[in-house]
Amino acid sequence: MKKKILAALLCVAMSATMLTGCGGGNNGGEAKTDTNQDAAGDTAEDDANADAPAADDATTGDDANADAPAEDDSNVSEGESAGGGSLTVWCWDPKFNIYAMEEAAKVYQAENPDFNLDVIETLWDDIQTKLTTAATSGDFSTLPDIFLMQDNAFQKNVISYPDAFMDLTDSGIDFSQFAEAKTAYSVVDGKNYGVPFDNGAVVACYRTDVLEEAGLTIDDFTDVTWEQYIENGKKVLEKTNKPLLSCQAGESDVIMMMMQSCGASLFDEEGNPAMVGNETLTKVMETYKALVDSGVLIEVNDWDQYVATLTNETVAGTINGCWIMASIQSAEDQSGKWGITNMPKLDGVDGATNYSNNGGSSWCVTSNCQNPDLAKDFLAKTFAGSVPFYETILPASAAIATYLPAGDSDVYGEPAEFYGGDAVFKKIVEYAGKTPSNNTGVYYYEARNYIATAMQNVINNGTSIEDEVKAAQEQVEFTMQ
């Protein structure tokens, strides 16, 4: 009975919260949460509401104070022990990131009852703006002790504003205990600047009942190449009239997932554009075009239409970061009809794997941190050192760890009824550990947008991949100038 209840909680929590954890979040401006309680006490947010849907877009904080400096309660003397004192944190999403941080405070307070954590709800876009403003003015006193940063923006910000961040390489945190590809997002010049948090490991999700109609099973899509995927997809299309895959036209997520699955990048190690003559990129774009031409992949206009293709049974599957499972599970009538496995790998490309990443975030310590030893110790003993912590937050928030030891937990091994009783959380942690790393650099977003446009020109206008890639690289080079 206990396992059935936990499995049900996992399903409810994932559908309510996983999606918001992957990106910048849509929750309100700033709202302070004070976890100044003893280890057994309640947080400001009622635990009974832990499984409620994420807050709406309304601003929960005082707009007049949106740009005010973070409140500083951490005037800790130099001689004070690492466990005492206070930290201020910025992050978004009350039911995902904020909830996880509050639970981390409880774990730490069990051994350090004098510890206090002030969490200020701050949208990712606002964090980026405040960071840029602080760095531009040279006044970092407005920054908190710790804040959450989207992985794909991490290297760009550290490279652009190096004086804003604290080097965590020798902090006592064992970064080898995290998925290598996840950790790489927050590494610059061989130094660690971030503590990995939520998981963006790519999963391939399929309607197993639809596959069965076509005489196939999920095993036919496990450890396959993209060529095999397309051939299987044609069988599904012929038998069921359902494409296997959908995505937004003009977006580059599928392309970037393919690239990272090979450990490939749009830039070289020095951060220079490396698109022209990039054989992996050419193969990726050829494969994407083959998917569209075969009818196995359909493109839609926006995110809502993309999610609708999954919930209204337009397509037989999807490939995305594991957070997409929350959207899939919003169709409760489809419980038991879905399964997950790894993604296809590119044919004929050295280093190609069946694993990639899309989305996620990590914690950083700012140069304004009033008690660096406390911040490092807190992160080391919670997000970077406590399996029980990850076991606690999984049922209520579906925060799937990239902390590898958590994958061996009994909680992660619980079956998920929505996915045919498969232990999907354990599987996802394993995928994260096998994902190749790639360098993003400062102009990652600009480059991927130009490549997305290039791909659409190839599909819609019949232009050559070579010409479009050349034009995309020229645009990136112009932007960099």
Give domain limits for the chain. 2-200+359-425, 202-356+443-480
What pLDDT does 247 receive? 95
- Predicted TM-score of the model (pTM): 0.75
What pLDDT does 407 receive? 85
Determine contact, residues 51/16, Cβ cutoff 8 Å.
yes
Distance CA 230, CA 455 (A): 19
Distance CA 77, CA 23 (A): 37
Burial of 22 (0-12, 13-18, 19+ CB in 10 A): buried
Determine contact, residues 259/202, Cβ cutoff 8 Å.
no
What pLDDT does 31 receive? 53
Q: 441: Cβ–Cβ under 8 A, 6 or more apart, which residues?
A: 155, 156, 159, 265, 267, 271
Determine contact, residues 441/155, Cβ cutoff 8 Å.
yes
What pLDDT does 40 receive? 33
What pLDDT does 3 receive? 39
What pLDDT does 8 receive? 39
* Equal CATH topology for 2-200+359-425 and 202-356+443-480: yes
Determine contact, residues 344/223, Cβ cutoff 8 Å.
no
Burial of 106 (0-12, 13-18, 19+ CB in 10 A): buried
Extract the residue ranges of the chain whose pLDDT is less than 70.
Answer: 1-84
Number of CB atoms found within 10 A of residue 353's CB: 19
Number of CB atoms found within 10 A of residue 144's CB: 26
What pLDDT does 48 receive? 32
What pLDDT does 442 receive? 83
What pLDDT does 181 receive? 87
Q: Return the SS3 of 118.
A: strand
What pLDDT does 103 receive? 96
Helix ranges restricted to H, 217-341: 226-240, 253-261, 279-294, 303-311, 324-328
Class of domain 2-200+359-425 (CATH, top level): alpha beta
Q: Which fold has domain 202-356+443-480?
A: D-Maltodextrin-Binding Protein; domain 2 (3.40.190)
User: 232-241, long-range: CB within 8 Å, 24+ apart, which pairs?
Assistant: 233/291, 233/294, 233/296, 234/294, 234/295, 234/296, 236/210, 236/211, 236/296, 236/316, 237/294, 237/295, 237/296, 238/214, 239/213, 239/214, 239/215, 240/210, 240/213, 240/214, 240/316
What pLDDT does 100 receive? 93
Q: 270: Cβ–Cβ under 8 A, 6 or more apart, which residues?
A: none
Q: How many helices (H) and strands (E) does the chain have?
A: 16, 13
- Phi and psi torsions of 378, nearest 5°: -60, -50
What pLDDT does 38 receive? 37
